[in-house]
Structure 1
Amino acid sequence: MLTNLHVKNLALIDEAEVEFGPGLNILTGETGAGKSILIGSINAALGKKISREMIRTGETSALVELVFETENPHVLELLKEMDLEAEEGQVIISRKITGSRSVCRINGEACNISQVKALASLLLDIHGQHEHQSLLYPDRQIAILDAFAGTEAATAKGEVRALYQEWKNVRKELSAYELDEEARKREAAFLTFEINEIDQAELKEGEDEALETAYRKMGHAKKIAESLQTVYAITGYGAENSAGEQVGRAIRELQQAAVYDDALSGPSQTLSDIDGLLNDFNREISAYLSELTFSEEEYYETEKRLDEINRLKAKYGKTMEEIAAYREEQQKKLEKLENFESCRAALQEQLQKTEQKLDAAAHNLSKIRRNYAKRLETQIIEGLRDLNFLHVAFEISFEKTKSYTENGTDAVEFLISTNPGEAIRPLAKVVSGGELSRIMLAIKTILADRDETETLIFDEIDTGISGRTAQKVSEKMAQIGQRHQVICITHLPQIAAMADSHFEIEKNVEENETVTSIHPLSEEDSVRELARMLGGAKITDSVLANASEMKELAQVQKSARLK
Structure 2
Amino acid sequence: MLYSLHVKNLALIKEQEIEFSKGLNILTGETGAGKSVIIGSVNLALGGKADPGLIRTGEEYALVELCFGLESKEQKRLLQEMDIPIEDDDSVVIQRKIMQGRSVSKVGGESVSARQLKDISNILINIHGQNDHQELLHKKKHMDILDNYCGDKLGGLFDELSKEYHSMQEIKRQLEESDMDETSRKREQELLEFEVAEISDAGLKEGEDEELDSSYRKMVNARKISEAAYGCQALTESGDSGESASDMIGRAVRELTSVVSYDSELEGLLEQLSDVENLLGDFGHSLSDYMRGLEFNDEQFRETEDRLNTINHLKDKYGGSIESVLKSLSEKEARLEVLSDLDAHRASLEKELAAKNAVVLKLCGKISDIRKEGAAALEKKLVQALVDLNFLDVRFRIEVEESKDRVSARGYDEVSFLISTNPGEDLRPLDQIASGGELSRIMLALKTVVADKDDISTLIFDEIDAGISGKTAWKVSQKLGELSREHQIICITHLPQIAAMADTHFMIEKGLSDGRTVTSIYALDEDASVKELSRLLGGEEITDAVIENAREMRRMAEETKRG
Question: Under a length normalisation based on structure 2, what TM-score does the superposition of the two structures give?
Answer: 0.90
1:55–1:97 CA contact under 8 A, matched in 2: no
Shift of 1:191: 1.8
Q: Give the secondary structure class of the aligned counterpart of 1:405.
A: coil
Equivalent in the alignment of 1:374: 376
Residue 280 and residue 68 in structure 1: after superposition, are their counterparts in 2 closer, same or farther (change >3 A)? closer
Equivalent in the alignment of 2:162: 161
Residue 195 and residue 110 in structure 1: after superposition, are their counterparts in 2 closer, same or farther (change >3 A)? same
Deviations 1:120-142 (A, max 9, x none): 32332211132100001001011
Residue 302 and residue 52 in structure 1: after superposition, are their counterparts in 2 closer, same or farther (change >3 A)? same
Equivalent in the alignment of 1:358: 360
Residue 538 and residue 241 in structure 1: after superposition, are their counterparts in 2 closer, same or farther (change >3 A)? farther
Shift of 1:547: 2.2
Equivalent in the alignment of 2:446: 443
Shift of 1:463: 0.9
Deviates more, 1:95-104 or 1:267-276: 267-276
Please state if 1:301 is matched with 2:303.
yes
2:71–2:457 CA contact under 8 A, matched in 1: no
Letter in 1 for 2:220: G
Deviations 1:438-474 (A, max 9, x none): 2222222222233232222111211112222222222
Equivalent in the alignment of 1:465: 468
Residue 422 and residue 283 in structure 1: after superposition, are their counterparts in 2 closer, same or farther (change >3 A)? closer
Shift of 1:495: 0.9
Which whole-Å CA distance do the structure 2 matches of 1:269 and 1:19 have between them? 77
Give the aligned length.
559
Which whole-Å CA distance do the structure 2 matches of 1:252 and 1:159 have between them? 85
Q: How does 1:131-146 map to 2 (within 5 A)?
A: 131-146=132-147
Residue 21 and residue 250 in structure 1: after superposition, are their counterparts in 2 closer, same or farther (change >3 A)? closer
Shift of 1:146: 1.9
Which whole-Å CA distance do the structure 1 matches of 2:133 and 2:406 have between them? 29
Equivalent in the alignment of 1:15: 15
Shift of 1:545: 2.8
Shift of 1:531: 1.4
Deviates more, 1:93-102 or 1:283-292: 283-292
Which whole-Å CA distance do the structure 2 matches of 1:542 and 1:293 have between them? 112
Equivalent in the alignment of 1:409: 412
Q: How does 1:512-523 map to 2 (within 5 A)?
A: 512-523=515-526
Equivalent in the alignment of 2:514: 511
Shift of 1:254: 4.6
Q: Give the secondary structure class of the aligned counterpart of 2:95.
A: strand
Which whole-Å CA distance do the structure 2 matches of 1:474 and 1:292 have between them? 92
Shift of 1:391: 3.2
Which whole-Å CA distance do the structure 2 matches of 1:72 and 1:376 have between them? 25
Letter in 1 for 2:359: K
Equivalent in the alignment of 2:233: 232
Which whole-Å CA distance do the structure 1 matches of 2:9 and 2:44 have between them? 13
Shift of 1:95: 0.8
Please state if 1:43 is matched with 2:46.
no
1:313–1:319 CA contact under 8 A, matched in 2: yes
Letter in 2 for 1:445: T
Q: Give the secondary structure class of the aligned counterpart of 1:101.
A: strand
Equivalent in the alignment of 2:433: 430
Shift of 1:399: 2.9
Equivalent in the alignment of 2:190: 189
Deviations 1:329-370 (A, max 9, x none): 222222232343333333222221221121122112212222
Deviations 1:270-312 (A, max 9, x none): 5555445444444544555455435233322222222111111
Which whole-Å CA distance do the structure 1 matches of 2:170 and 2:293 have between them? 61
Q: How does 1:79-98 map to 2 (within 5 A)?
A: 79-83=79-83, 90-98=90-98
2:395–2:421 CA contact under 8 A, matched in 1: yes
User: Could you tell me the percent identity over the aligned residues?
Assistant: 47
Shift of 1:250: 4.4
Deviates more, 1:434-443 or 1:151-160: 151-160
Equivalent in the alignment of 1:199: 200
Deviates more, 1:184-193 or 1:56-65: 56-65
Residue 286 and residue 521 in structure 1: after superposition, are their counterparts in 2 closer, same or farther (change >3 A)? closer
Which whole-Å CA distance do the structure 2 matches of 1:228 and 1:558 have between them? 94
Letter in 1 for 2:328: Y
Which whole-Å CA distance do the structure 1 matches of 2:289 and 2:367 have between them? 82
1:460–1:491 CA contact under 8 A, matched in 2: no
Please state if 1:147 is matched with 2:148.
yes
Residue 6 and residue 289 in structure 1: after superposition, are their counterparts in 2 closer, same or farther (change >3 A)? closer
Which whole-Å CA distance do the structure 2 matches of 1:229 and 1:92 have between them? 67
Equivalent in the alignment of 1:71: 71
Residue 393 and residue 239 in structure 1: after superposition, are their counterparts in 2 closer, same or farther (change >3 A)? same
Which whole-Å CA distance do the structure 1 matches of 2:74 and 2:83 have between them? 14
1:504–1:521 CA contact under 8 A, matched in 2: yes
1:44–1:64 CA contact under 8 A, matched in 2: yes
Which whole-Å CA distance do the structure 1 matches of 2:445 and 2:138 have between them? 17
Which whole-Å CA distance do the structure 2 matches of 1:91 and 1:262 have between them? 72
Shift of 1:525: 1.0
Letter in 1 for 2:148: A
Deviates more, 1:36-45 or 1:274-283: 274-283
1:434–1:462 CA contact under 8 A, matched in 2: yes
1:67–1:90 CA contact under 8 A, matched in 2: no
Equivalent in the alignment of 1:337: 339
2:124–2:458 CA contact under 8 A, matched in 1: yes
Shift of 1:406: 1.6
Q: Give the secondary structure class of the aligned counterpart of 1:136.
A: coil
Q: Give the secondary structure class of the aligned counterpart of 1:169.
A: helix
Which whole-Å CA distance do the structure 2 matches of 1:71 and 1:115 have between them? 20
Equivalent in the alignment of 2:485: 482
Please state if 1:539 is matched with 2:545.
no
Equivalent in the alignment of 1:530: 533
Deviations 1:535-554 (A, max 9, x none): 24432333223322322333
Shift of 1:510: 0.5
Equivalent in the alignment of 1:101: 103
Which whole-Å CA distance do the structure 2 matches of 1:290 and 1:553 have between them? 104
Deviations 1:103-128 (A, max 9, x none): 3114x555444444334323322111
Q: Give the secondary structure class of the aligned counterpart of 1:130.
A: helix
Shift of 1:202: 1.6
Residue 242 and residue 290 in structure 1: after superposition, are their counterparts in 2 closer, same or farther (change >3 A)? farther
Please state if 1:384 is matched with 2:386.
yes
Letter in 2 for 1:173: Q
Which whole-Å CA distance do the structure 2 matches of 1:257 and 1:148 have between them? 98
2:66–2:95 CA contact under 8 A, matched in 1: no
Which whole-Å CA distance do the structure 2 matches of 1:448 and 1:18 have between them? 25
Which whole-Å CA distance do the structure 2 matches of 1:467 and 1:503 have between them? 22
Deviations 1:43-82 (A, max 9, x none): 2233333234333333334333333334312112224334
Residue 436 and residue 290 in structure 1: after superposition, are their counterparts in 2 closer, same or farther (change >3 A)? closer
Which whole-Å CA distance do the structure 1 matches of 2:60 and 2:210 have between them? 55
Question: Under a length normalisation based on structure 1, what TM-score does the superposition of the two structures give?
Answer: 0.90
